[in-house]
Amino acid sequence: MLLIPCPFCGARDETEFAYGGDAGVERPTDPEAATDEAWTDYLCFHDNPKGPHRELWFHRDGCRRWLEVERDTWTHELGAVRLSRP
């Protein structure tokens, strides 16, 4: 079980968090102007790398902040943990 160092609460068990997926996915600023293809890419087609991955974790049972966590999907090693869009 991961131990995620929350910048507010300290190191906490993974069970306190909710997973939020790829942190690198940008919402199109003008959805109406996006083509169907661009919009579907944004919705469904995300990378699934083996190795380093930037992803969102929500500290649900703690400070309730969405965090951006660098995690190696192969080793589960964590890198930097920071606020998402501080």
Query: Contact between 8 and Zn ion (CB under 5 A)?
Result: yes
Q: CA–CA separation, 71 vs 49, rounded Å?
A: 11
- In the region spanning residues 8 to 67, those forming contacts with other proteins, defined by CB under 8 A, are 13, 18, 20, 27-28, 30-32, 34, 36, 39-40, 43, 56, 58, 60, 64-66
Tokens of 4: 């995620």
Question: DSSP 3-state assignment of 2?
Answer: coil
The secondary element (H helix, E strand) that includes residue 77 is none
x/- letters, 58..77, toward Zn ion (CB under 5 A): -x--xx--------------
Q: Which amino acid is at 59?
A: H
State the minimum distance, in angstroms, from the CB of residue 7 to Zn ion: 7
The secondary element (H helix, E strand) that includes residue 40 is helix 36-44
- Name beta bridge partners: 3: 13
Interface with other proteins (CB under 8 A):
1-3, 13, 18, 20, 27-28, 30-32, 34, 36, 39-40, 43, 56, 58, 60, 64-66, 75-76, 78, 83-86
